[in-house]
Structure 1
């Protein structure tokens, strides 16, 4: 299974999530894609991700890969350490408990209308998910844009020492050119035009 974790105020309808899903469908492996709508509470979001992983393993899929964008990348790093699986980080948040302080209160969602309410307790939930140093960095792929207007790509690089790192010159937080990189990150996760790529287990 490939578990995609969207970012703050985003959803499974995000540009990158839809592109990953569409490409996997084209390759005949769409059934392996999962992207839950994550709760604003970090603790509940992790519980949702863990439930998706448990369901996949109960269904016989033992080979898990995780891809996360922005805040989803922060979650992905914690889950990657916990499960020892291949993990792709797309402009990941590194210390969101400070980044999100300014968003405490009701915040509009990017897709479909509606809003979420960020509470002070959510900052502690984020701190509880902190990963100071990744282990087995070869399991990680970082895609970081120097033009990210929300997060500092240098912090991402420093947090992923030893990982497979691809730095995009320019671009933006959403990685508008993600279509140019989707095949590469999916190959890292073990998928290709022929389906599942053998020998890519973490």
Structure 2
């Protein structure tokens, strides 16, 4: 049984119940590669990063998988925690992209309503990393 762990970070308005998250878990479990942890990320970026940094402090992870907004968060964590990261269609400037969602939104997987605020865009901007010095592979 796989004992190494990966942290999978879902995208905006997604959840651990997404099809992509479930397919990822199934693949890694069937091939006994890694245990995949998929936390439910809060809508507020600072709370999402706090949750993720707490997880990294209490458990050892071999790397990150980030999808969309989760890819943006994964890149931040990669730079700050030196963890390998696989980015799936990562959000590049979510503080611009998600400004259209300011207001009340409803998660399509959980049905939970949440509010996106303008200060969330500022929180995302604060998480942006300098990508010019990164060594990326494809």
TM over 0.5: yes
Conservation of the 8 A alpha-carbon contact between 2:15 and 2:110: no
User: Which consecutive segments of 4 or more residues in structure 1 shift more than 4 A?
Assistant: none
Q: 1:36 pairs with 30, 35, 39, which one?
A: 39
TM-score scaled by structure 2?
A: 0.90
Q: 1:91 pairs with 73, 85, 89, which one?
A: 89
Give the 5 Å matches for 1:50-199.
50-57=53-60, 63-133=61-131, 135-137=133-135, 163-165=136-138
5+ residue gaps, structure 1: 58-62, 138-162, 166-202
5+ residue gaps, structure 2: none
Cα 1:45–1:75 change in 2 (3 A) is same
Distance 2:101 2:93 in 1: 14
Query: How far apart are residue 20 of structure 1 and its match?
Result: 1.1
TM-score scaled by structure 1?
A: 0.63
Deviations 1:79-137 (A, max 9, x none): 01111121011110111111111100001112021221101110110011011226552
| Larger Rg computed on CA atoms | 1
Matched, 1:2 2:23: no
Distance 2:131 2:38 in 1: 26
Matched, 1:22 2:26: yes
The structure showing larger relative contact order (alpha-carbon pairs under 8 Å, at least 6 residues apart) is 2
Give the alignment's Cα RMSD to 1 decimal.
1.5
Paired residue secondary structure (1:20): helix
Conservation of the 8 A alpha-carbon contact between 1:105 and 1:117: yes
Distance 2:92 2:114 in 1: 22
Query: How far apart are residue 44 of structure 1 and its match?
Result: 0.6
